Amino acid sequence: MNVEDLPTPAVVVDAARLEGNLATMARARPGDRLRPHVKAHKTTALAKRQLAHGHTHFCAATIREIEGMVRAGLDEDLLLANEVVDASRLGALVRAGARVTVAVDSEETIEAARRGGVEEVLIDVDVGLPRCGCRPEDAGPLAEKARRLGLRVRGVMGYEGHVVGNANRADRERGCAESMRTLLSAHAEVGGDVISAGGTGTYACNLEATEIQAGSYALMDTAYAKLELPFEQAFHLMSTVLSVSERHAVGDVGLKSLAMDHGNPTIPGAQVLFCSDEHVTFVPGASDETASVSPIDWSCPSRLRVGDRIRLVPAHVDPTLACHEKIFVAENDRVVDEWEIDLRGW
């Protein structure tokens, strides 16, 4: 099947570009220096490709993702890089033989880990992103609390998510260094072998972390493309043109099939006006100078007809893939494989 024959909307991954991205990261962060974050692609088939490139440790954002990785046999060292107040499902995996570590940032989440049967934790530290994470000065006492309850404290975790997408490289590097100084100060009080941090935007400049939690690098999106990283855009959404007027055209990809939190998708060779529930409205042949993607060999023709196919590049890969059930893997626009997006859900 050719990709233009797929029912739309459809997620299409370029096999060669994906493999190139995986190889590039594996050279930069070999082995357990990278803990790929499966929340970006939610696909055990793709995780197995990361394993083939030497990465045996993985992290995830949801219990469902951890459970799916265990079912796929990818359970050598799994980190739930998120707090939970009910760890019983994780504890069941540990009792079955999987190694699962969970992030904690309070006495309540430490107690939840103990009660649920999870034996290993990382102390999650707030390094500047106003999300989860304890105050740096509380990390040591929390580690002591966990050890008193019989848990093994493997180290610390901190996500510099407030700087990973900074388009100014110098500012991104300075922000990362500042965040890691905070994390290292907490680690000095906590101890352990693991300093887990980072993402696709800071994988190269974060020199303090023992492991980097990057995920988007495998498939990429327009938000990360603006950072001029050495990774190519490896996926897009195939769409069908539903309506054409003198002023604009409409495709069948909308809010129900792509994420909009980082802005509009990009249609190379066209200007996206807006997205609605099931539609994207765009001007063929116009330019959209606000979007940047890796060089690609396709674009939107200036003259379209109903039924024509177009290709969109979303601005944010993670929640976009959560909208879909399958990935179609292509070589030279021929579909060669289908991967289930089997880690969706909670």
For the stretch 9-37, pLDDT in tens is 999 999 999 999 999 999 999 999 999 99
> pLDDT confidence of 288, banded at 50, 70, 90?
low
DSSP 108: H
d(CA 110, CA 286): 54
**pLDDT recorded at residue 307:** 96
The two tokens of residue 136 are: 């740096």
- pLDDT over 70, % of the chain: 96
Distance from the Cα of residue 275 to its chain's centroid: 23
Question: Residue 333 pLDDT more than 90?
Answer: yes
- What is the pLDDT at residue 286? 77
CA separation for the pair 318, 43 (Å, rounded) = 11
The stretch 65-71 carries a mean pLDDT of: 98
**In which band, very low, low, confident or very high, does the pLDDT at 51 lie, cut at 50, 70 and 90?**
very high
Helix, strand, or coil here: 139? helix
What's the pLDDT at 178?
98
Q: Which has the closest alpha carbon to 279: 304, 246, 244, 235?
A: 244
Average pLDDT rounded to a whole number, residues 166-178 = 97
Q: Is the distance from CB of 139 to CB of 182 less than 8 angstroms?
A: no
Other Cβ atoms closer than 10 A to 225: 19
Task: Let me know if domain 16-218 sits in CATH 3.20.20.10.
Answer: yes
Q: Where are the domains of the chain?
A: 3-11+230-340, 16-218
Mean pLDDT along residues 249-270 = 95
Q: Looking at residues 191-214, what average pLDDT do you find? A: 98
Contact 123, 142 (CB under 8 A): yes
Q: Is it the case that residue 301 has pLDDT exceeding 90? A: no
Banded pLDDT at 143 (limits 50, 70, 90): very high
Check whether the bond before 141 is cis (ω within 30° of 0): no
Q: Which residue has the tokens 């000095």?
A: 188
Q: How confident is the model at residue 61 (pLDDT cuts 50, 70, 90)?
A: very high
- Reported confidence tier of residue 292, pLDDT bands at 50, 70, 90: very low
Residues in the chain: 346
pTM of the model: 0.94
Tell me how far apart the alpha carbons of residues 69 and 57 are, in angstroms, rounded to a whole number: 11
User: Band of the pLDDT at 299, cuts 50, 70, 90?
Assistant: low
SS3 331: strand
Predicted confidence (pLDDT) per residue in 70-119, tens digit: 999 999 999 999 999 999 999 999 999 999 999 999 999 999 999 999 99
CATH of domain 3-11+230-340: 2.40.37.20
At 108-137, the pLDDT tens digits run: 999 999 999 999 999 999 999 999 999 999
In the block, tokens 């993985």 appear at 58
pLDDT mean over 246-266: 95
* Cα angle for residues 230, 81, 189 (degrees, 5° grid): 105
Cα 131–Cα 32–Cα 116 angle in degrees, nearest 5: 55
Predicted local distance difference test score (pLDDT) of residue 298:
57
pLDDT tens, position by position, 222-234:
999 999 999 999 9
pLDDT-based confidence at 303, cuts 50/70/90? confident
SS3 242: strand
- What does the alpha-carbon distance between residue 142 and residue 242 come to, in Å, rounded to a whole number? 56
| Residue 299, both tokens | 């674009």
pLDDT at 289 over 90: no
- Beta-bridge partners for 155: 122, 194
Beta-carbon contacts of 86 under 8 Å, excluding residues fewer than 6 positions away, are 112, 116
DSSP-assigned states of every residue in 278-328: S-EEEEET---TT------S----SS--TT-EEEEB-S-HHHHHTT-SEEE
334-340 and 326-331 strand pairing: antiparallel
Structure tokens at 123: 């102390």
Do the Cβ atoms of 266 and 289 come closer than 8 Å?
A: no
For the residues 281-295, what does the mean pLDDT come to?
A: 67
pLDDT at 291: 43
Evaluate whether 238 touches 265 at the Cβ level (below 8 Å).
Answer: no
